[in-house]
Structure formats: structure tokens, C-alpha cells
Structure 1
Amino acid sequence: MSLYSIEIIQVGECAVDALEDDMLILFNKSVPADAAEYCFVHTHDELRGEISVGGEVVIDNKSYPITAVGDAVNQNLGNLGHITLRFDSADQADFVGSLHLSGAQPSTLNVGSTISFN
């Protein structure tokens, strides 16, 4: 069973630019207007467990192993659906809200794309 499963409902104007820099910024529908342009806005889910190293994130059926988890990832994802996925295989989180993954970032995400945290 997935710990958290979402669908993209809005893509901010600058969100794909951030993705090209290996950052996928997520926020639920409560995203502040000034931040929305940088985010992939999604449906919110209930966090059903702890996201941790050794787990995986599945984006549109492609799996990315989790290599590092920032100290605030679980709290931020559970409360606001707001974290940054970094596709850099780092073994230490650079920011408290960063979740680091192994693998090349997706080229793009669209409305209807799905992401699950396992």
C-alpha cells in the first residue's frame, strides 16, 4: 500500500524550469499564489506512514529509490503536501524539506500525472 498518492492538477509556469534543474516542487491546493508558479500542484492525501531511505517514489509508473530524507519531509508532506524532490542521489538532505532520489528526473509532468510514495 502506498504511503501517499497524488495526482497533478496544475503545473506552474516555472515548474518545468525547476524540474530541468533536478527539482520537482510539490504543493497541495492550498499553495500561496506567489509560490504556485514554481510548483506542481496536486490533490492532497493522508500520509499513512513514514517516508524513509530505502523506500521509493513512483512517478507515472517509473520508480525512483529514496536516497535521503530531510528532517521536515514527513511533516510538510502530511500537512501541506509541500516538499521538493531532488534527482541527485545525495545521501544527505540539503534542506529539511528535500527528498532525494536516484535516477534522472522526468522530462516533464502534466495535469493527470501521478506520484506515489512507497
Structure 2
Amino acid sequence: MMITSEVTEIGPNAIVESDPIAILFGPEATNNLKDVAVIQKFDVRHPEFNLRRGSQISIRNHTYTVTFCGKLVNANLQGVGHVTLCFSAIPETPLESAIYLSPEKFPGFTVGDKIIYTFK
């Protein structure tokens, strides 16, 4: 199954060059969250996610493989469009609201980018 979202806003403090993560939220995010987040809007209302290790996410002509998917990820994406994308190795104690991706290369984000979540 594939679910697509589009980047509609990028907060002024959302991208930090030295920190290879992106915090994503849906359009209902508060203004405080929008300041530090990449806002995504899904192509379907209330999509049902089943992301897990081995799923793929494509951003800006880069395809990433999920190496870790936290327990909270699918429910958070379905509810408020939230996930933290980590383009780094899995730490000893990974975030349960995060997806860790390989390769560990930050793609950058621009308004209008498509994010494609692919899973079984």
C-alpha cells in the first residue's frame, strides 16, 4: 500500500543543518509546533498506516528503508500526521514516535515535495 502526503509548510526552525531529523505534523498542528515542524497534508483523509521495519519512504527522489519504527508511529500518523524522521543510526534507546531510516542521508525539504509511504 502507498500513502502520499505533500509538504505544505516548513517552520522557520524545522530544519537544523547539524541535526539529521525532521518532525512532521498534519495541518492541524498548533502554531508552536508549526514553528519547528514540516507540515504534511495527506492525499486521503485519515489514512491507515502499517509502517514497520522494511517499509519504505520516498522524499525528493530519495528512497529510504525503515530500520526502526517506534510503537507510537502508526497511531500518531493516523491521528495527527505526526512522526519524527531520523536519518541516523538507531540509538540504544530509540524514540517510540520516530522512524529511523537508511541510508542515513538527510534529503532536505521544500514546500510542494511529496512524501510517499510504502508498506504491506
Task: Give the TM-score normalised by structure 2.
Answer: 0.87
- Secondary structure of 2:36's match? coil
Q: What's the counterpart of residue 94 of structure 1?
A: 94
How many Å separate the matches in 2 of 1:91 and 1:63?
A: 21
- Secondary structure of 1:78's match? helix
What does residue range 7-86 of structure 1 map to in structure 2 within 5 Å? 7-17=6-16, 20-44=18-42, 45=44, 46-86=46-86
Percent of residue pairs bearing the same amino acid type: 25
Give the gaps of 5 or more residues in structure 2: none
What is the alpha-carbon root mean square deviation over aligned residues? 1.7
Task: Give the TM-score normalised by structure 1.
Answer: 0.88
8 A Cα contact 1:59 1:113, kept in partner: yes
Q: 1:16 to 1:64 in 2, by over 3 A?
A: same
Q: When the two structures are aligned, how many residues end up with a matched partner?
A: 115
Letter in 2 for 1:14: N
Q: 1:48 to 1:77 in 2, by over 3 A?
A: same
Letter in 2 for 1:95: L
After superposing on structure 2, the runs of 4+ consecutive aligned residues of structure 1 that deviate more than 4 Å are none
